[in-house]
Structure 1
Amino acid sequence: MAELTPTTTMASLLRTYPGARRALFAEYHIGGCSSCAYQDEETLEQVCQRNEIAVGEAIDHVLKSHEVDAAMLITPAEVQKLREAGESMVFLDTRTREEHEAVAIEGSELMTQERQQELFGTAKEDSVIILYDHTGSRVLDTCAWFQGHGLKGTRGMLGGIDAWSQEVDSSVQRYRLEMD
C-alpha cells in the first residue's frame, strides 16, 4: 500500500483508501458539498490548509479509519468458504437493477429499499450479511450504513463482483461500465 503523505493527491488517496471520503467528511466536513469540495489533483496538504486542519492529524485520522474499514471487509475466498460451509447469510448485490439482471453471483439478491428496510427491522445484530458492488469501491459506505443500523455482522466483499469473477468463479462475466 502506498504511503500516505501531505503530497498525496486526493485521487490517489481515494483510490488507496476508499473510505477516506467518508472519514474526512465525518471528521472535518471535507468533500460533502460544493463549499468544502476538493479536486482530484489537489494534494491532501492543500485541502487541509484551505480547511485549517493539521495535515498530520488528517493523515492519522484516515489511517485509523482505514483500519476500521478493513475490519468491515471480507475477501471473495472467505465468502466462498462461508457458502461452502452452509453458513446462513444474506448475500446482497448493491449495484443497479440493470447490472444485477445482466450478471450476478448465484444465490445473491438485489438490494432494494424494501429489502434493506426489512433487514433493518428484522435481522439480528450478528446476522451474516455480505454486500457487494462492482469493484468494491462503494461497498464500504453501504456496509458502514448497515453496521450503523445495528447489523454488526455485515461485511463488504473486497473487490466486488469483479474480484469474485477473477478469484472464485470465472463463469461470472466481467464487465466495465462506460462511466468508470
Structure 2
Amino acid sequence: MADLTANTTMAEITSTFPGSKRALFARYHIGGCSSCAYRDDETLAEVCERNEIKADEAIEYILESHEVDKAMLISPQEVKALLDSGEEVLLLDTRTREEHEAVAIAGSKFMTQEYQQELFGTWGKDKLIVLYDHTGGRVLDTCAWFQGHGLKGARGMTGGIDAWSKEVDKSVPRYRLEMD
C-alpha cells in the first residue's frame, strides 16, 4: 500500500502495518476491547470520528509506530547469516507447545512463562533474542513486551517459521492451523 489515508479500511491498515492495532490501542484506546472495537470494513475516518480523534494525527502516529516496529524486525535470511557466522543468537519459539513439538527451527527454545522470567533476569540486555511465531502476525507484540522489559536485543522474525521454511530451510515442514 503506497498511501495511508483517512479512507483506508481498518483491514488494509492492520494488514499493511502489523503493529497498528497495538499502536492505536496504546495511544487512543481503540481496538483492544469490545467497547472500543472496530470492524475491518470501517475506514480510519469512521473510527476516528467515533472516537473524537483527528484522522491526520492517527495516520501520523501509525506511520511513526511502523518505523519503530520495522526496527524490531529481522528477516529469516539475516537470522540464518548470523547463525552461520557463529554469532550467539537465542531463537525463541512463541507458538503453542503443540506447534513447537510438531515442528521447530533447529536449536530453538520453547517460550514458557518460567523461561521468559528467567531471561528477563539473566539474559544480557543487548544480547540477540530472535522471537518467532507461525507467520509473523503476533511476533511484534511479544518483541515489544521483551524490549519493554529491558531486553533491547530482542527482534521478531518476519514471516515466522513459515517464512523460515519457504526461504531458508525447506526441510522444516510448513503447516496451517485449522480454527473452529
**TM superposition score category, shorter chain reference:** over 0.9
C-alpha contact 1:74 1:156 (8 A) present in aligned 2: yes
Query: Does 1:130 pair with 2:130?
Result: yes
Aligned-residue Cα RMSD (Å) equals 1.1
Alignment of 1:147-162 (within 5 A): 147-162=147-162
The CA deviation at 1:179 is 2.8
Q: Tell me the secondary structure at the aligned position of residue 35 of structure 1.
A: helix
The CA deviation at 1:2 is 3.8
Residues 104-125 of structure 1, C-alpha deviation per residue, up to 9 Å, x if partnerless? 1101011110110000011111
C-alpha contact 1:5 1:59 (8 A) present in aligned 2: yes
Separation in 2, partners of 1:57, 1:4: 12
Separation in 2, partners of 1:59, 1:3: 10
The CA deviation at 1:34 is 1.3
- The letter of the residue matching 1:49 is E
- The letter of the residue matching 1:140 is L
- Matching residue of 2:140: 140
- Matching residue of 1:113: 113
- Matching residue of 1:9: 9
- Matching residue of 1:26: 26
- Matching residue of 1:64: 64
The CA deviation at 1:88 is 1.0
Structure 2 spans left out of the alignment, 5+ residues: none
- The letter of the residue matching 1:80 is K
- Matching residue of 1:78: 78
Separation in 2, partners of 1:115, 1:2: 40
Aligned length: 180
What is the percent sequence identity of the aligned residues? 72
**TM-score in terms of structure 1 length:** 0.97
Q: Tell me the secondary structure at the aligned position of residue 90 of structure 2.
A: strand
- The letter of the residue matching 1:134 is H
Separation in 1, partners of 2:3, 2:109: 37
The CA deviation at 1:63 is 0.3
The CA deviation at 1:12 is 1.2
- The letter of the residue matching 2:15 is R
**TM-score in terms of structure 2 length:** 0.97
Q: Tell me the secondary structure at the aligned position of residue 46 of structure 1.
A: helix
Per mean C-alpha deviation after superposition, the further-off stretch among 7-16 and 61-70 is: 7-16
- The letter of the residue matching 2:39 is Q
Separation in 2, partners of 1:179, 1:24: 27
